[in-house]
Structure 1
Amino acid sequence: MTTITPFAAGSYATNRTITQLTSLKSQLNDLSGQLTSGLTAQSYGGLGTGRTTALSAQASISALTGYGAVIDTAQTRAKLGTTSLSEVVTVATDTNTTLQNGLQSTSSNMQAAKSTALNNLNAALDALNQSDGSVYLFGGTKGSVAPVVDANTILNGTTDSSGNKLDGLTTLVSDQVTADLGPAPASNGWLTQTNGTTTVSLTEGPYARRTGAAGAFGYSLSNITASNPTSLAVTSSGSPVTYTVGVNAQPNAGDTLTVTLGLPDGTSTAFTLTASAGSADPTATSSFAIGSTPAQTATNLQTTLKNALANSAGSTLTANAAARVSKDFFAASTDAGTTPRRVYTDPATGGPTYTYPTTTPATTVKQSVVWYKGESGPDTTARASQTYQVGSSATIQLGARANETPIQNVLAGLATVALGIPSGSTANASDAYQAVVNEATPLLASAKSGHSVQDITTDFSLASARMSSAATANTAQQNTLQNTVDGIEQASTEEVATRLMDLQTRLQASYQITASLSKLSLVNYIT
């Protein structure tokens, strides 16, 4: 009789036993692998239904790790930016303090203030060229090149790649002062003084600023008033305007004549001349002696007025010129295609005029250094020029530009002090120093007041704080996700060891029974 082996008596039991032993051996191998590697499976396919959750969690963990790296980079930028901007605030405050202290002893502190401002200008420019190792912080989107040229180039100029001379701020200030003072020997802001027997007249120059006018040079005549119009009669007429003061009678000691002058930037200045009973002083700038006759009094008034105008032009007008040029200079930008506005000689009139030189100027227009090479744009868009993704839906803006308005103002204030204070001692040193203080103080105040450098520093500090919060939230989320992944992918050593021992016991028992059964025969069974 033929027997079909798979269906022979006992074949099913034998096959089942082999299958069970193979399964136990496979489980033993799996548990041994888990105990060695600590992983539930060697591939995601072995995780069963948990693999989808594990893969999704791993993707989120990877993204959070990336955000962490971005935060580390951005925090470095924020800290460096805060440090640099704090330096700008410090040098502005330090310069302003030195200026105010100098008012107590002008002669001994003029050069100290000038030197301090020059050193602080260097420090501020260096701070604005700060780099985090990969990009420059204060160039906006143009972070690959230094945004600011060095102080020596800014002040003294350089030569371009074609050999053309580019004038620095020192030359621009000198040109502006010369244009504002007007022709020598008067150098009084283009005013014309005409003396009569008992009168003195002042007439505006051809470049005086009128309401709404631009491109002005020197003084405009705003008003002249007398405290005793019976003795000192003031009249005005004509265009350009002329003010005439007539000494109709002897003034009393203490009577005053106040002259108000308009400056090219639209602001004004004034000085007062006081009648005195003392002797005539040919160098007086604030008082005139009452003579023995109205004609003699008029002569003394004419001399004092001439001195006062020259003194005002050499102090107030000169400081105003330095401040105006400095502000124009730091408003220029290579990216915006602008160069500093500067003075040149008008070929048509032979007098001074303004222009913004282009890259291909007329031969009468000199070229200037452009100090800022970074990106330009409105202050309101500066932070957005560098954006960092620090979370799935969270971004931090850490952009900055060295030519933001408050930074421009601080640099202009430092330059006004450095270039506006006379290099040597002068007869009107005190007035010149006070004039520079008046012009520079509002500019330096941009470090902390109004739309200020301190505001930019605060933006960086707040961004740093938000990044710290984002990093904390990301870490907490990452830990939660990692715990989920570990729960799916990681095998419990204690559980695996227990199961492994149980399985080894069962497998050993199965082997022993199988071995015993393999030796069993009919004789042994009957016996």
Structure 2
Amino acid sequence: MIVNKSMYPLTTGFSIISKMQDKFAQLQMQLGTGVKAQTLSEMGRDLPVSLSVRSRLTTMAGYNASIEQVDLRMSFYDNALTRLDAIEGEARNSAVQGQYGSNNINMATISGLSKARLDEMVTLLNSDIAGRYLFGGSTTDKAPLPTTTELLEGAGGRAGYKTVVTERQMADLGSAGLGRLGTSINPAAPALQTDPVKVSLAEDGNHPFGYKLSTVSAIGANIGIASDFAASPANVDFTFPGDPGTVAAGDSVTLGFTLPDGTETQITLKAVSAANATGATGEFVIGNDPATATITTATNFDNALKAALKKTAEGELKAASTYAAGQNFFNAAGEPVLRVEGADPYTSTSLRVATKTDTVMWYSGETAAVSAIGMGRLTAARATETVTLTENIPVSSAHGFQISAVTSNVNNAGALTATHTPGDPAAMSVAFDDTFALIAGDSVTVTLTEPGGKMRQVTLTAVTGRAGPGQFTIGADEAASAENFEKAMIRSVSEAATAAEGNPRQSVTAAVEDSGRVAYGMQANESGYLRMIRSMAAMTVETYPEITNASDPNSADLNPAKARFDAMARRQQLELSEGRNSERGSIELITMELGVARAALQAAGERHTNYTAQLENLLSDVETVSKEDVAMEILALQTRLTASYQMTSMVSKLSLVNYL
């Protein structure tokens, strides 16, 4: 009789042994590799955790790569800004008023040194890392500046800075060299010796060139002065009394002028007797003959005035013109490049917007179309009860705000009248009228359009108390209301221009963590770089050939050249002054902003390092094994497997015969 083997689950035993063999093989693999599984399917319930952690580690690696790349660029920025700050200091100290050097060596070398600094600046601003240009904002595929030679000399029929300077100096000095001023004597031949004689000084038209009369004063009561600086053109009359009220020795007249670059200068004319005359510029001789004393004195005054104007024109005015040309050619953000209008610069009465076909554009990187400085190329004015806002001329559709509309919302019709005047330039006006009461809540809305088409509305609301943002206080009369409205309008339009301009740093950003970005954009037309480029270029093109062959370095003939050098040096020191360090866009402020950005970058990097270590520990717990634990499992499994083999072998041999 044979015992049925099904009494022992042999098949199940073989299955268990097979599973233990598979487990044994898996443990051997884990012992050899140190990881729990070779495929995702073997991960089991740890798979979601593994995938999630690995995804996060990949993201961290991406952020770290971005941080390394941005940190490299910021290192370059740091080096470049350090060098630019050094160049600024060198330039500021290279030309000092009154310090001409031995045999005027400083005057002879300043142009060449300035050109070398300008060339180094252009090289720094055109630098790239791996083909990515760093000083053009988000425009990174091309150099933001042309070469130094193109900037100064022009290229391909397009004018460079030197051409713009030449045109501007001709327009500012005028053909007579009097700074676009003219004089006249009336009457030219007085009938009686007691008749007064008038010398008139007037600008030759309403234009932005040359001297602009700003102030006049006198010492002594013998010269009558009547001025009208608000007239177009501005003028001033000097009346010399007839005998016996003649001019006395020591009487003087001082005239103040605004120059093309916005600076001020003065000339003083002093009456002297014939016996005490030295022939120096600024003196006019009093006539001796009673019969002709008045006309003689007036004529001498006229001649002295023209001589003083010419001398100052060769120094102060010419230097101011060179720097004004720098402002025209090296345009700031939100401003167009400007050129003198017309075929004859001597008689020009306006500037025009330059084009890419006739003028080298000095900067081709990303830039704002509206500038916070100058209210987005708008000018505010007030005449008693009427406030105006006008687009600057020449008008450029690609730069600054355009005044699109103006509307009012008033309770009493006529309390204020808002008017929009289209054209080139467009303008708007708001006139207040006390005949109708202005009520709190009345408002005026000005619509401004950016070159890109975006519209911004500036609304000003009348209030009875202290005015806040977007408000103006109702005054005691229409003039006071107009004054308050003008102040509020200037403030609000300036804020709109600031918002439209944006921040150059935001032109380039990098993601360094899930909710954090670092802004580190740089634009070569920011004010700090721009002031340096303008100054270097101006000092490069202004030369002093008079000293080249001068036998006497102290000759009076060199005084005009020295005066011009002093004027240029003073302007360079003003432009590059340490006092500008706090201005927006200065090299020092940019350095500080980048320092803050770099600190944020490094802080993010440290957070990623710590977080990555935590994630790797978690991943290790999920995906790797302890070889000691695996070895113990193998030994235990080996013991069980051996026992299973032995038991299975014994069971497979069971029979009644063997039993008996």
Task: Tell me the TM-score normalised to structure 1 length.
Answer: 0.84
Superposed CA deviations along residues 258-302 of structure 1, whole A, max 9, x for unmatched, are 1212334554321223456775344x2244567766667666655
CA contact (8 A) 1:86 1:454 kept: no
Q: Is 1:170 aligned to 2:165, yes or no? A: no
CA contact (8 A) 1:87 1:124 kept: no
Q: 2:65 aligns with which of 69, 79, 100?
A: 69
Match of 2:492 in 1: none
Match of 1:511 in 2: 645
Change (3 A) 1:227 1:491: same
Shift of 1:24: 2.2
Q: Is 1:368 aligned to 2:359, yes or no? A: yes
Match of 1:147 in 2: 144
Change (3 A) 1:177 1:200: farther
Q: 2:628 aligns with which of 487, 494, 512?
A: 494
Q: Which structure 1 segments of 5+ residues have no match? A: 160-164, 209-214, 361-366
Match of 1:24 in 2: 20
CA contact (8 A) 1:346 1:353 kept: no
Match of 1:211 in 2: none
Match of 1:121 in 2: 118
Superposed CA deviations along residues 292-345 of structure 1, whole A, max 9, x for unmatched, are 666676666555433321111111111111111111211178xx8x86211132
Matches within 5 A, 1:253-332: 253=250, 255-264=251-260, 267-275=263-271, 279-282=276-279, 284-288=280-284, 301-331=301-331
Q: Is 1:37 aligned to 2:33, yes or no? A: yes
Superposed CA deviations along residues 89-113 of structure 1, whole A, max 9, x for unmatched, are 322222112123x533363322333
CA contact (8 A) 1:234 1:243 kept: yes
CA contact (8 A) 2:332 2:526 kept: no
* Partner SS, residue 41 of structure 1: coil
Superposed CA deviations along residues 121-178 of structure 1, whole A, max 9, x for unmatched, are 111111111212131111122110111101110000110xxxxx11110111011101
Report which stretch shifted further, 76-85 or 124-133: 76-85
Report which stretch shifted further, 490-499 or 451-460: 451-460
Question: What residue identity is the alignment partner of 1:487?
Answer: D
Shift of 1:498: 1.8
| C-alpha separation in 2, matches of 1:167 and 1:85 | 30
Shift of 1:190: 2.0
Q: Which structure 2 segments of 5+ residues have no match? A: 190-195, 371-500, 548-557
Task: Tell me the TM-score normalised to structure 2 length.
Answer: 0.68
Match of 2:135 in 1: 138
Q: RMSD of aligned C-alpha atoms?
A: 3.2
| C-alpha separation in 2, matches of 1:267 and 1:427 | 21
Q: Is 1:383 aligned to 2:383, yes or no? A: no
CA contact (8 A) 1:421 1:436 kept: no
Q: Is 1:104 aligned to 2:226, yes or no? A: no
Change (3 A) 1:421 1:236: same
Change (3 A) 1:280 1:301: farther
Change (3 A) 1:142 1:285: same
Matches within 5 A, 1:238-253: 240=233, 241-244=235-238, 246=240, 248-249=245-246, 251-253=248-250
Q: 1:191 aligns with which of 159, 181, 199?
A: 181
Match of 1:162 in 2: none
Match of 1:400 in 2: 522
- Report the structure number with the largest CA radius of gyration: 1
* Partner SS, residue 244 of structure 1: strand
Shift of 1:35: 0.7
Matches within 5 A, 1:160-239: 165-184=157-176, 187-194=177-184, 201-207=199-205, 215-230=207-222, 232-236=223-227
* Partner SS, residue 618 of structure 2: helix
Higher RCO by CA contacts (8 Å cutoff, separation 6 or greater): 1
Match of 2:354 in 1: 357
Matches within 5 A, 1:428-467: 428-445=560-577, 448-451=581-584, 452-467=586-601
* Partner SS, residue 345 of structure 1: coil
* Partner SS, residue 522 of structure 2: coil
Between Structure 1 and Structure 2, the one with more strand by share is 2
* Partner SS, residue 259 of structure 1: strand
| C-alpha separation in 1, matches of 2:621 and 2:128 | 44
Identity fraction in percent? 28
| C-alpha separation in 2, matches of 1:436 and 1:34 | 81
Shift of 1:402: 1.2
| C-alpha separation in 2, matches of 1:350 and 1:290 | 35
CA contact (8 A) 1:410 1:444 kept: yes
Shift of 1:474: 0.8
Between Structure 1 and Structure 2, the one with more helix by share is 1
* Partner SS, residue 576 of structure 2: helix
